Amino acid sequence: MKINIGVFFGGRSVEHEVSVISALQAIRAFDREKYDVTPIYITREGRFYTGEALGHIEEFRDIPALLKKSQEVLPAMENGRLKLVRQPAPRFGKAVAAEIDVAFPIVHGTNVEDGALQGFLRTLGVPFAGCDVFASAVGMDKFAMKALFRERGLPVLPCLRFTAREVFDGPEAVADRIMEKIGLPVVVKPVNLGSSVGIRLARDREALLDALDYAVSFAAAVIAEKAVENLRELNCAVLGDADGVEASEVEEPIAGDEILSYEDKYVSNAKGGAKSGGKSGMQSLKRLLPAPISPELREKVRHCACEAFLALDCAGVSRIDFLMDGKTGETWVNEINTIPGSLSFYLWEPLGKPYARLLDELVELALKRSRSAAEMNYTIDTGILKNASFGGAKGAKSSSAKR
């Protein structure tokens, strides 16, 4: 029997388009001998659609036309399976458009990758691939993740967190604290975005005030962090869960600008140069793979990547990104991407793991987690409701729920 995979993608996120690219790459890579794959596209309005046309990247050039060809659905559980129920309910024909055994979120950014979609799937009770709610939520918050990395003894740059309210009310005071505690140059980032959105490097106080003002236009909180000079970047993915992890090859992405921009990551090569073979998405970024670094540094990066993955209790595949001062060789863990662009499949190929096998392992890990969850006790029958009463029509006030 084939396993039915439901690939969820899109969503109310600034990284909506990147998610479409990552998801459609994965949909093509699943081994069809083992899996049936159903695309489930979440629109920017938070509506769910399925249908054959959603598996073709060209169709996304005209999304309204694509949605007309597709079927709106509502996810609902029945007998332990996720059913996609046609919406509105059809007068004739089948009410269920597809059934899913394992949900596969390939989403990037807030409202989806940050534990929101994972929480929804967990509430429904369908097995899903990748990080659970906690790791997804912490992995989206650049301040919270660094706190856990630091706790685990990993090298992390000094940083401060400010709410947008603090920046609006007293930008000068915020700048004072940053100058005192961190100094210049400094990088200011929205706390929970990706793809370099809202990030600026400041080399003087005026630029710092501008950077703060800019970052708070994207998020309710920002971080200010020591800027790394002579910047080189290294990325390494990790696959597994708390029972065991393995690290991928290490890549060095090449920036075209001071800050590796959205343009660098997703647009500059999207049309396909000789090297990218017409592919687009994170895997087509200009990069050196393997990164030209010493075997010792490579092992250090791979070890720290595994530690970072474990620090957040991740599962599935995550990519851990490092910043390095190219002159001193000093290296810091920068961030984790709990659903990396292109699922970082290209980092596993040099180690002999083709994309289809990476996907197999991710499905296995999802099923394993759901089996161990099934063994846990979620129902303790206290009998509390057997004699429950609020003591008459007006009695609701006198009874309170103790927990």
Ligand X SMILES: Nc1ncnc2c1ncn2[C@@H]1O[C@H](COP(=O)(O)OP(=O)(O)O)[C@@H](O)[C@H]1O
Q: Burial letters for 202-231: b for 16+ Cβ neighbours within 10 Å, e otherwise?
A: beeeebbbebbebbbebbebbbbbbbbeeb
- State the binding string over 308-337 for Mg ion (x if CB under 5 A, else -): -------------x----------------
Q: Which amino acid is at 9?
A: F
Which position's Cβ is nearest Mg ion? 321
- Tell me if 175 contacts ligand X by CB under 6 A: no
- State the binding string over 239-258 for ligand X (x if CB under 6 A, else -): ----------------x---
Question: What is the token pair recorded at 67?
Answer: 């949605």
Q: Which does 227 bind (CB under 5 to 8 A by kind): Mg ion, ligand X, none?
A: ligand X
Q: Which is nearer to Mg ion, 75 or 198 (CB)?
A: 198
- Tell me if 199 contacts ligand X by CB under 6 A: yes
- Tell me if 188 contacts ligand X by CB under 6 A: no
Task: For tokens 């534990």, name the residue.
Answer: 115
Q: Which amino acid is at 394?
A: K
3-state secondary structure 33-69: CCEEEEEEEECCCCCEEECHHHHCHHHHHCHHHHHHH
Q: Which is nearer to ligand X, 6 or 198 (CB)?
A: 198
Question: What is the token pair recorded at 100?
Answer: 């899913």
Strand order in the sheet with 186-190: 159-163, 221-226, 186-190, 200-202
Residues 182, 158 contacting (CB under 8 angstroms) = yes
- Tell me if 259 contacts ligand X by CB under 6 A: yes
- Tell me if 219 contacts ligand X by CB under 6 A: no
State the minimum distance, in angstroms, from the CB of residue 221 to Mg ion: 17
Q: Which does 141 bind (CB under 5 to 8 A by kind): ligand X, Mg ion, none?
A: none
Residues that bind ligand X (CB under 6 A): 157, 187, 189, 193-196, 199, 225-228, 231, 233, 255, 259-260, 321, 323, 334-335
Query: Site residues (CB under 5 A) for Mg ion?
Result: 321
